[in-house]
Amino acid sequence: MLRKAIYPKVEVLIKPLVEFLNQKGFSPNQLTFAGLALNFLAGYMYANGFLVAGAVILILGSLGDLLDGPLANLSKKSSSFGAFLDSTIDRYSDFFIFGGLALHFARTGQVGWFLIVMGIILGSFATSYTKARAENFIKHCHAGIFERAERLIAIALGTLVPFLLPLILIVLFLGTNGTAIHRIFHTRNALAKDSPK
């Protein structure tokens, strides 16, 4: 949702960078895996309590996710497999980021926040899974507002400004699981609407 609203506005800004990467021979998959590596590093920093450093690395890692699609289009390397790979890598990245944060809370004895972050991981995966499964039966399932871009922006903000982190974690827990539940009901209603009377 947020990506659709913001991306057209930043497309002009990132175009020179995408052209530069294309001229240097970088491939979309290289950006995808570079983003994965940076997100792993962000999770490692989170796990060791370096929240601000983790947030900065997370923001850098998110550039790979922002640029790989436009680079694929510009270099004529866009493919269904590339889109599939990108979505799959995103799930690993999400686990590294939030898993690292969960490990930080486990190490510091903050069991309640550890469980909240585990709930965010569950909600994040359920949000993606409900969309993927729903679109086997209905054309589109974009219901809900806590998609990946919103989750990453929220957690980057919360770890850059740590006093906001408790509030943001609660919002993410409710938002991710709420989005998954929203998609379940959206799919049920869409299927009921399309079924023969």
Tokens at residue 173, please? 């827990």
Task: Give the DSSP letter string of 143-178.
Answer: -SS--HHHHHHHHHHHHHSGGGHHHHHHHHHHHHHH
- Annotation says 90 is catalytic: yes
Q: Are 42 and 99 in contact (CB under 8 A)?
A: no
**Alpha-carbon distance 125 to 18, whole Å?**
29
Give the CA count within 13 Å in the CB-facing half-sphere of 178: 10
Q: Indicate the SS3 state at residue 109.
A: coil
The C-alpha atoms of residue 152 and residue 54 are separated, in whole angstroms, by 12
Of 68, 86, 90, 94, which residue is the catalytic one?
90
What count of other Cβ atoms lies within 10 Å of the Cβ of residue 62? 21
Distance CA 125, CA 102 (A): 15
Active site residues: 90
